[in-house]
């Protein structure tokens, strides 16, 4: 073939041939195709009819959605969209979460889109300055009205928990992964116990512990904000998972790299920050993003300890008598699922893309 490239037949798409090869190559395959078609028909047609064709689009209360054969109750979402996005955040101050979110999106786009310059500087700004700016914008102070964290909710709270979880767990995880590979026995054993402990218990119990037990660790007379306690719990819990992901990356770095760094006279921190970690983190990017996705999905668990995150606020809305109808809960869950799906799916696509880019570099 390689010798006569011009002899290669022109591939043309032939629908019938494609059908025969891919769907009806044998009687069993034909039967499977028909079963699959039936399943798709069963799932897709009623869903589309319910969510779009027969859906109720306008209205102000449950009455609109009680009609015979009525589908999704979209007014349940549209009428409460402020609540779903910001929780009980003061109406007049909603530009603050919007600005915070816009800055976040801008930063992420800068970091992920290829060809934009100064990625390192932006990354450092996002990790150091951005959290401070976001904190001041959201909680207030410095001339802005104070909005207590108890009023935060909806997608805003989900994003706060997810972003702080992600920002805190990555550096903590890197430290723990280095600690687990350390020569110092106390550091190594402490890291192993820390990592295995958090990985062995469910997040729900950790959140329970944060709401009941963290106050016991704090010095007397100090009350820690309820949200801050949950954030610490989420960060500590996920740092253990992050540590294992980073450790995988560290193990994949060739041993000669460490030896070369030592031979050059670099110390522990210099060789790690300049030689080992950049390679290890690059290798671990796909798994790090998977952990991010896990953190994002796990934010829903804060609703169990009484926060009104995106899922919590929708869940509490479904039992509101003003909106009670047979399709209210379905509509709320469908909306929440769609929001989470968009976030998680785009992150997983990005991770696949990075995997391909990195592999392409390796194959060279």
Closer of 34 and 144 to another protein (Cβ) = 34
Rounded CA-CA distance 287/237 in Å is 16
| Residues 176 and 194: beta-carbon distance below 8 Å | yes
- Calpha distance 152→221 (Å, rounded): 25
Nearer to another protein, 139 or 318 (CB): 318
Say if CB 23 and CB 29 are below 8 A apart.
yes
Q: Are 239 and 169 in contact (CB under 8 A)?
A: yes
- Nearest to residue 154, comparing CAs of 295, 322, 314, 323? 314
Cβ-based burial of 158 (10 A; exposed 0-12, middle 13-18, buried ≥19): buried
Contacting another protein within 6-35 (CB under 8 A): 22-23, 25, 29, 32-33
**70 belongs to the binding site for another protein (CB under 8 A):** no
Place of tokens 């109808």: 325
DSSP 87: B
In the set 101, 110, 135, 333, which binds another protein (CB under 8 A)? 333
Q: For residues 144 and 218, which CB has a smaller minimum distance to another protein in the complex?
A: 218
- Sorted by sequence, the CB contacts under 8 Å of residue 250 that are 6+ apart come out as 177, 178, 181, 276, 277, 280
Tell me the per-residue interface mask from 274 to 293 with another protein, x by CB under 8 A, - otherwise. Answer: -------------------x
Judged by beta carbon, residue 134 or residue 336, the one nearer another protein is 336
Closer residue to another protein (CB): 110 or 333: 333
Closest CA to 127 of 112, 113, 107, 102: 107
Query: Do 311 and 300 contact (CB within 8 A), yes or no?
Result: yes
Determine, following the binding rule CB under 8 A, whether residue 216 of this chain makes contact with another protein: yes
How many residues are there in the chain? 364
Instruction: Tell me which of 163, 170, 203, 242 binds another protein, using CB under 8 A.
Output: 203
Q: Which member of 74, 233, 336, 351 binds another protein (CB under 8 A)?
A: 336
Nearest distance from C-beta of residue 213 to another protein, angstroms: 6
Nearest distance in Å: CB 236, another protein: 12
- Taking CB under 8 A as the rule, which mask of x and - marks residues 131-170 in contact with another protein? ----------------------------------------
Examine residue 41 and tell whether it contacts another protein (CB under 8 A): no
Q: How far is the CB of 269 from another protein (least distance, A)?
A: 9
What CA–CA distance (Å, rounded) separates 101 from 228? 19
Q: Are 348 and 290 in contact (CB under 8 A)?
A: yes
Whether 258 and 276 have beta carbons less than 8 Å apart is answered as yes
* Residue in 297, 322, 353, 356 binding another protein, rule: CB under 8 A: 297
Among 41, 212, 228, 322, binds another protein (CB under 8 A): 212
* Torsional sign, CA 194, 183, 181, 167: positive
Considering the complex, what minimum distance in angstroms separates the CB of residue 25 from another protein? 7
306 binds another protein (CB under 8 A): no
Of these, 14, 17, 37, 252, which contacts another protein (CB under 8 A)? 37
Quote the DSSP letter at residue 320: -
Return the structure tokens found at 327.
């399709």
- Determine if 337 is a binding residue for another protein (CB under 8 A): yes
Residues engaged in binding another protein (CB under 8 A): 22-23, 25, 29, 32-33, 36-37, 39-40, 183-187, 190, 197, 199-205, 208-209, 212-213, 216-220, 265-267, 270, 293, 297-301, 303-304, 311, 315, 318, 326, 329-330, 333, 336-337, 340-341, 344-345, 348
């Amino acid at each position: 073939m390689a010798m006569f490239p011009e002899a290669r037949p022109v591939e043309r798409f032939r629908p019938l041939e494609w059908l025969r090869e891919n769907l009806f190559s044998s009687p069993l395959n034909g039967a499977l195709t028909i079963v699959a078609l039936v399943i798709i028909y069963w799932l897709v047609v009623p869903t589309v009819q319910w969510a779009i064709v027969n859906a109720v689009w306008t209205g102000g209360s449950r009455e609109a959605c009680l009609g015979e054969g009525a589908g999704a109750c979209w007014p349940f979402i549209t009428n409460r969209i402020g609540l779903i996005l910001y929780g009980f955040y003061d109406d007049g101050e909603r530009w603050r979460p919007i600005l915070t979110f816009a800055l976040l999106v801008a930063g992420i786009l800068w970091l992920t889109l290829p060809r934009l310059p100064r990625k390192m500087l932006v990354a450092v700004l996002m990790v150091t300055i951005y959290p401070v700016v976001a904190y001041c914008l959201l909680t207030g102070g410095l001339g802005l009205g104070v909005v207590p964290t108890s009023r935060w909710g909806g997608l805003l709270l989900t994003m706060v928990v997810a972003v702080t979880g992600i920002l805190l767990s990555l550096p903590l995880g890197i430290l723990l992964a280095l600690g687990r590979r350390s020569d110092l026995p106390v550091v190594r054993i402490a890291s192993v116990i820390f990592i295995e402990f958090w990985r062995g218990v469910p997040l729900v119990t950790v959140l329970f512990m944060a709401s009941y037990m963290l106050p016991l660790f704090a010095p007397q007379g100090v009350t820690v904000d309820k949200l801050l306690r949950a954030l610490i719990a989420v960060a500590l819990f996920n740092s253990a998972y992050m540590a294992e992901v980073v450790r995988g990356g560290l193990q994949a770095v060739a041993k000669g790299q460490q030896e070369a760094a030592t031979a050059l006279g670099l110390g522990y921190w210099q060789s790690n920050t300049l030689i080992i970690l950049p390679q290890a983190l690059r290798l671990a990017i796909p798994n790090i993003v998977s952990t991010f996705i896990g953190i994002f999905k796990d934010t829903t668990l804060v609703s169990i300890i009484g926060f009104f995150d995106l899922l919590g606020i929708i869940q509490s809305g479904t039992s509101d008598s003003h909106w009670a109808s047979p399709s209210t809960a379905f509509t709320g869950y469908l909306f929440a699922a769609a929001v989470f799906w968009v976030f998680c799916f785009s992150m997983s696509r990005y991770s696949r893309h990075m995997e391909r880019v990195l592999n392409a570099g390796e194959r060279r």
